[in-house]
Amino acid sequence: MEVNSSQVEHIPVLARTLVEQINLPQDGVMVDATIGQGGHSLLFGTSLGSDGVIIALDVDKKAIRGAQLKLKDLACKVIYIYANFSEIDNLVREQGVEKVDFILADLGLCSSQLSDSEIGLSFQTDMPLDMRIDKRLRLSAADIINKTTQKNLADLIFKFGQERFSRRIARFIVRERQGRPITTTGQLSSIICRAVGQPERKRKSKIHPATRTFQALRIAVNNELENLEKLLASASGLLGVNGRIAIISFHSLEDRLVKLNFKANEKAGIYKIITKKPIVASREEISSNQRARSAKLRIAEKT
Ligand SMILES: C[S@@+](CC[C@H](N)C(=O)[O-])C[C@H]1O[C@@H](n2cnc3c(N)ncnc32)[C@H](O)[C@@H]1O
């Protein structure tokens, strides 16, 4: 089924908390490393004057087009760059900007991307098994699923999905692909359900049996952890004194990288950590936006 992803409105998570924690001067420069549909940037952009700048990055062209529409009436300048935030250092300097006041990364995906059949991430709807948010990437999820050895597949599902049935799932995948290639999300999801359905039911797990494997594949296809590490490594050099970095993450592997980076920078006297513990969404926010359920926000300030 073709899903019109532009109809799906993305609600920015932890928006009120972020606005309370970040004070941008009217002529401030902010990098929104994950512009998405521009929800967060709209909130910050309204407090920027005509000398303010938002440098907006995304690896999804459709998301950039959506953000352009949403932010078209802002007084500040918005520079859109179709690029990966792992390159943040060069991208910002290429704009003639040396220091910024705020870096925001709201990791993961927009609601519209989850249902976008061109990206192919959903196990609820049958779609081509792709998962590349950035279509310039070489390997799709189908390439990985059909070409990786059983052992490497099991390791990948375990490492990035923290899936305890990884070996069993990899075995079922390899058995299936010997008959015919695995090309759709529905096909993969049903193999996983067959592999772990029964043990999962015994465990009375609330999440869909395919959740962890799909997460693992998405992380691998889009090099998510590597990109985040590069962003974190460059950020301290780009922030001006008292500038802040805020990262919203959605799984423990990402949150751990953020926590370790902030701690190391604090130890080196480069950052002051603003959020001793990650900020999570209130019950009210979660009840109106399910995506907020697993969000964790960490903020640090350049000293
Ligand atoms: C959760 S959405 C951001 C939503 C946005 N804060 C809003 O309020 O509309 C995450 C966005 O990050 C983008 N993205 C993911 N990884 C990226 C990367 N390495 N570099 C740049 N953009 C990335 C995705 O394409 C997606 O549009």
Which atom of ligand 1 lies nearest, measured to the CA of 70?
A: 9
- pLDDT score for 199: 61
- pLDDT score for 202: 60
Domain boundary, last residue among 165, 189, 221: 221
Strand partners, 128: 184
How far is ligand 1, taken at its centre, from the CA of residue 35, in Å? Answer: 6
User: Is the CB–ligand 1 distance for residue 297 below 6 Å?
Assistant: no
My answer on whether 210 and 296 are in the same domain is no
My answer on whether 41 and 107 are in the same domain is yes
Sign of CA dihedral 17, 22, 23, 29: negative
| In-domain check, residue 126 | no
My answer on whether 155 and 207 are in the same domain is yes
pLDDT tens digits for 141-182?
Answer: 999 999 999 999 999 999 999 999 999 999 999 999 999 999
- All residue ranges of the chain with pLDDT < 50 are 1-6
My answer on whether 29 and 108 are in the same domain is yes
DSSP the chain: ----GGGSPPPPTTHHHHHHH----TT-EEEETT-TTSHHHHHHHTT--TT-EEEEEES-HHHHHHHHHHTTT-SSEEEEEES-GGGHHHHHHTTT---EEEEEEE-S--HHHHT-TTT---SSS--BS---SSTT-S--HHHHHHHS-HHHHHHHHHHHH--TTHHHHHHHHHHHHHHS---BHHHHHHHHHHHHHHHHHHHT-SS-TTHHHHHHHHHHHTTHHHHHHHHHHHHHHHEEEEEEEEEEESSHHHHHHHHHHHHHHHHTTSEEES-SS-B---HHHHHH-GGGGG-EEEEEEE-
My answer on whether 56 and 74 are in the same domain is yes
How far is ligand 1, taken at its centre, from the CA of residue 41, in Å? Answer: 12
| In-domain check, residue 132 | no
- Domain total of the chain: 2
User: Is the CB–ligand 1 distance for residue 74 below 6 Å?
Assistant: no
My answer on whether 76 and 33 are in the same domain is yes
| In-domain check, residue 129 | no
How far is ligand 1, taken at its centre, from the CA of residue 235, in Å? Answer: 17
My answer on whether 170 and 98 are in the same domain is no
Tokens of 88: 């943040």
Report the CATH number at residue 193: 1.10.150.170
How far is ligand 1, taken at its centre, from the CA of residue 84, in Å? Answer: 10
Give the whole-angstrom CA distance, residue 32 versus residue 299. 14
How far is ligand 1, taken at its centre, from the CA of residue 258, in Å? Answer: 16
My answer on whether 180 and 35 are in the same domain is no
Taking the model in full, what pTM does it have?
0.94
Tell which phi-psi region holds residue 59, choosing left (phi > 0), alpha (psi between -120 and 50) or beta: alpha
Domain boundary, last residue among 193, 221, 249: 221
pLDDT tens digits for 5-17?
Answer: 445 678 999 999 9
- pLDDT score for 3: 38
- Pick from 9, 22, 34 the residue to mutate for probing ligand 1's pocket: most ligand atoms within 8 Å of its CB: 34
Nearest to 18 by CA among 40, 45, 51: 40
Report the CATH number at residue 36: 3.40.50.150
**Torsion angle in degrees (nearest 10) through CA of 100, 234, 11, 301:** -60
My answer on whether 243 and 205 are in the same domain is no
User: Is the CB–ligand 1 distance for residue 70 below 6 Å?
Assistant: no
Residue with tokens 């089924």, as numbered in its chain: 1
**What is the domain extent for residue 88?**
12-112+224-302
Domain boundary, last residue among 162, 190, 221: 221
My answer on whether 106 and 241 are in the same domain is yes
